[in-house]
Amino acid sequence: MWRAYSTGPDREVLIGSDYKPFYAKDRGTDLGVSTWPLDAWKIGGGTVSGWLSFDPDLGLVYYGTANPAPWNAEQRPGDNKFTSGVFARDIVTGRARWFYQVSAHDQFHYEATNENILVDLELPGGTRKTLLHPDRNGYLYVFDRLTGEVLSATPFVRVTTSAGVDLSTGALHYAPEKLPRANIVVRGICPSSAGGKNWQPSAWSPRTRLLYIPHQNLCQDEEVMATSFIAGTPYMGAIIKMKPGPGPGRGLVTAWDPVAKRAAWTVNEDFPVWSGALATAGDLVFYGTMDARPNPESSVSRSRIEDRTARSTSPCCRAWVAGPEPSCSTTSIRATAVPRVALRTRCATSSSAPRREACSMCSHSLDGNTSALAEERMR
């Protein structure tokens, strides 16, 4: 058994001679103390509230740490190690092997607790053992999971809070005009503090080699002010007003190609997509929505579907074909085929509908030349 903290001296963070972070910004002695104002690390946050990933070959466990406190960053000058970053630890001893601070001196409460998906990718130079991390700051990070090197960091949503990630230093370059300031309302902060993506886990398909990201399109206005720590009460010092980001909806599902560093396709939803995603061997991607209203037309103009049999309680069920373009024609579904995105069910509510969800979708053969109607029912 072992216990490792996110802040404090090295002996409590379990940092020793085998700790070898890739970037100089994450190296040093007792950074969990020295990068904070006096004793602020004791009340500074950095909890482990997200997902754990394990590589049995490397014997490493990976996880992200939460944001520093308070939200008013002016009260905690410094990088505030080891918050808002990703740790790799020896599964047996708990000792840290590497750490990468995704958002140093986190200004926007982004954290780094989102999932870390372990994937071997064919990249220029050969196969790399990578870690895919869609962060709340709006960037999709591709790490070398052995060393902690950032191989790429690409926005997957609208980002106004920073100008990019320097791959040579690992530093996130904040946009000065968007930094929260005391008693001043800063507008147009994108993503919002809920992140370009929050806790909801993405899904990786080893068949399509795409990462399916359920996320949100939200921005915010923010004003920070001085606050005091009182045990058992919120320690924030911020007023936040969230609003929809630019575009047709407040939620999205993005199929991301981590090698090409771009979206293969995107589906827009009215509300934030706050469910996880599920990718199947049949090249389908499932996710849930926050509404159960009739949706006879998809939110992308390229596809229209009417399913006269599928009914759903909240949340609606969505199913998209993950692979090549299918071609579908049936009496119960009217649709136009879409490259890489096929059919979404029409969800409707009815007092007489059975207490189950039904989704009709088009499934297709591996070569994409033939198709058949399949009905999946979930209780």
Q: What is the pLDDT of residues 32-66, one digit of tens each?
A: 999 999 999 999 999 999 899 999 999 999 999 99
Beta strand 357-364 with 371-378: parallel, antiparallel or unpaired? antiparallel
pLDDT of residue 291: 83
Residues 6+ apart with CB under 8 A from 175: 160, 161, 162, 163
- Residue 260, classed as helix, strand or coil, is coil
294-327 b/e (C-beta count within 10 Å ≥ 16 → b) = ebeebbbeebbbebeebbbeebbbbbbbbbbebe
Domain residue spans in the chain?
Answer: 10-279, 280-379
Mean pLDDT of 122-140: 97
Task: Name the pTM for this structure.
Answer: 0.81
Segment 60-90, tens digit of pLDDT: 999 999 999 999 999 999 999 999 999 999 9
Model confidence band, residue 322 (pLDDT cutoffs 50, 70, 90): low
User: Taking 90 as the threshold, does the pLDDT of residue 200 lie above it?
Assistant: yes
User: Taking 50 as the threshold, does the pLDDT of residue 135 lie above it?
Assistant: yes
Cis peptide before 315 (omega within 30 of 0): yes
- How far apart CA 327 and CA 80 sit, in angstroms, is 53
- Residue 75, classed as helix, strand or coil, is helix
- How far apart CA 147 and CA 181 sit, in angstroms, is 36
Residue with tokens 């800063």: 186
Class of domain 10-279: mainly beta
- How far apart CA 99 and CA 119 sit, in angstroms, is 19
